[in-house]
């Protein structure tokens, strides 16, 4: 594919230029792919962190409240803990209905706002914690009704007496 006088033909030049363009495109594609992987890695790390603020550890504990609907009262206890990955988890007890361990399917605490949902009973809660995290003023919504539900931090459970009977 050489032309007269030892110069490459226009076809050979075009072919070589095409290969160069393809090589550049591949290098650019590799760099773009590497950058995209790096961005995805950083984003995955950010989303792998617990969504709660650093103050969320203070929300962990038992919270008591009374749901009032007319003359009826339901005493509730919300048990908030952390799983092994640092995410908040919770269950709820409805003491008067003898319904214990109702799973809380979603819970968040950020900017002093607590929200959680209990899908099994189609209810959800939204509340605002006070500055020292001893109470939360909020509301419970279920079956089309919204009622006030204020939660107070429960006193730590008394440890069993470890004295032996001798």
The pTM (predicted TM-score) of the whole model is 0.63
Instruction: For domain 54-153, give the fold.
Output: Lipocalin (2.40.128)
Going through the chain in order, the beta strands assigned E by DSSP cover: 61-69, 72-82, 88-94, 99-104, 106-110, 113-118, 123-129, 135-142, 145-148, 151-153
Name the average pLDDT for the chain.
80
Q: What is the pLDDT of residues 12-65, one digit of tens each?
A: 655 666 666 666 666 656 666 566 555 555 455 545 445 444 444 489 999 999
pLDDT band for position 101 (50/70/90)? very high
Question: What per-residue confidence (pLDDT) applies to 69?
Answer: 84
Question: What per-residue confidence (pLDDT) applies to 53?
Answer: 43
Out of 46-50, 59-63, 90-94, 152-156, which region has the weakest mean confidence (pLDDT)? 46-50
Query: Would you list the domain boundaries of the chain?
Result: 7-48, 54-153
């Amino acid at each position: 594919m050489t032309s007269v006088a030892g110069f490459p033909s226009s076809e050979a030049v075009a072919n070589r230029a095409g290969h160069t363009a393809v090589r550049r495109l591949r290098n650019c594609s590799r760099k773009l792919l590497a950058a995209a992987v790096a961005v995805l890695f950083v984003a995955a790390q950010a989303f792998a962190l617990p969504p709660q603020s650093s103050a969320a550890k203070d929300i962990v504990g038992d919270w008591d409240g009374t749901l009032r609907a007319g003359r009826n009262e339901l005493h509730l206890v919300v048990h908030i803990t952390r799983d092994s990955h640092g995410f908040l988890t919770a269950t709820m007890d409805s003491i008067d209905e003898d319904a214990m361990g109702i799973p809380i399917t979603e819970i968040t605490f950020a900017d002093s706002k607590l929200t959680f949902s209990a899908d099994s009973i189609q209810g959800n809660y939204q509340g605002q914690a006070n500055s020292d995290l001893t109470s939360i003023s909020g509301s419970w919504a279920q079956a089309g009704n919204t009622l006030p539900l204020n939660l107070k931090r429960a006193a730590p459970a008394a440890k069993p007496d470890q004295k032996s009977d001798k």
